[in-house]
Amino acid sequence: MAKPKVLLGMSGGIDSTVSAMLLQEQGYELVGVTFRTYDSMKDSCLAKEKGCCTIESIMEAKRNAERMGFEHHIVDFRESFKQCVISNFIDEYMSGRTPNPCVLCNFTIKWGEMLRLADEMGCDCIATGHYARIAERGGHLYLTAAADTHKDQTYFLWMLTEEQLRRTLFPLGGLTKDKVREIARSHGYESLATKRESQEICFVPDDDYRSFLRANVPDYNERVRAGEYIDRDGKVLGSHSGYVNYTIGQRKGLGIALGHPAYVTRIDAETNRVTLGTNDDMYASSLRFRLVTPLRPFRKDLPLVAKIRYRTTPVEVVIQTETPPLLGGAGGEVLSLTFSEPVWGVTPGQSVVFYQDSLVIGGGIIQ
């Protein structure tokens, strides 16, 4: 019986290239696709494993597909990427929040558009080089943590639906990054195996979001002006250069001396005020979040844990809701949760992702 036909998202980097190797060895028929979402021809991008940001990486993906003998397509999604991901990125920062564009891109572009293309090209499913796995429990599909816990990317994939997971393959989910490099070398891809990685946002040159906003917000100078630093009691401490220049937890580059280490604890876009506090002020025992989609079923007799950023240790939580069991809502409602212990740096705009026994139960956007 023939294996399904797979549409593979290719970035030109090691992870998607090794995914192609593994899928071919397993007998799948492959079609490669690389999205043109944002062009930024900077040196730092060319030197690193950046993904979808340069013409060079796009052409590298095409060469790799040709070398392995399967068809490859370059699809221009710059306009939809701009209208969805970049627009949200700008709106969130200009509202005083710190967005996570990869989460939205994965859901709307990498899965939403890829599945549409898969249907057009007669592909049964899609595959990517993400480090994640899929598990079935009680008739439901869940994302579950990758074997390489240091590379696990489920935090960025929590918005994916069961329907999307049903047609998804993660060839690298059971591998470590070292093993992936070993596979690349064994197939003659030494340059990929030694290529440096980057955590930068693909469409923000040199990871400078401030310059990006300045260049892409038409009325930036009118909206971003000097404002006041205040403490938690509202006392004015000094002046700052404009609220969008700061993020929660920021300590360096504040341009103010208080005689003790100061951290940004709150950003108010409406008043253009930035609250400063101590490290102790950075801890919170609760937060409010917007539930984007209903949570998947979870066991009430086991702890539910949450992560508020990519590289943090999950902390046990209790979600407060007036409509148990929290599974029937349409999403969009704002809920509260409490942590079993205080957590550092709760940041509006970021994702809070819920896990139980390494299964992703769902998530929301911190309010």
- CA distance linking residue 187 with residue 18, whole number of Å: 9
| List 45, 53, 105, 123, catalytic entry | 105
For the chain, how many residues are written? Answer: 367
CA atoms within 13 A on the CB side of 302: 11
Are 54 and 40 in contact by the 8 Å Cβ rule? The answer is yes
Are 314 and 360 in contact by the 8 Å Cβ rule? The answer is no
Burial class (CB in 10 A: 0-12, 13-18, 19+), 357: middle
**Is there a catalytic annotation at residue 202?**
yes
Three-class DSSP labels, 65-89: HHHHCCEEEEEECHHHHHHHHHHHH
- CA distance linking residue 221 with residue 264, whole number of Å: 22
Are 119 and 67 in contact by the 8 Å Cβ rule? The answer is no
Burial class (CB in 10 A: 0-12, 13-18, 19+), 254: buried
Q: Is 364 helix (H, G, I), strand (E, B) or coil?
A: strand
Contact residues for 327 (Cβ-Cβ < 8 A; gap 6+): 294, 295, 296, 297
Three-class DSSP labels, 223-253: HCCCEEEECCCCCEEEEECCHHHCCCCCCCC
Where do the H-state alpha helices sit in the chain?
14-25, 43-46, 55-68, 78-81, 87-94, 101-105, 114-120, 162-166, 177-186, 190-193, 209-216, 220-223
Q: What angle do CA 277, 279, 283 make, to 5 degrees?
A: 95
**Is there a catalytic annotation at residue 52?**
no
Angle at which helices 14-25 and 55-68 cross, to 10° = 20
Show which residues are catalytic.
Answer: 105, 202
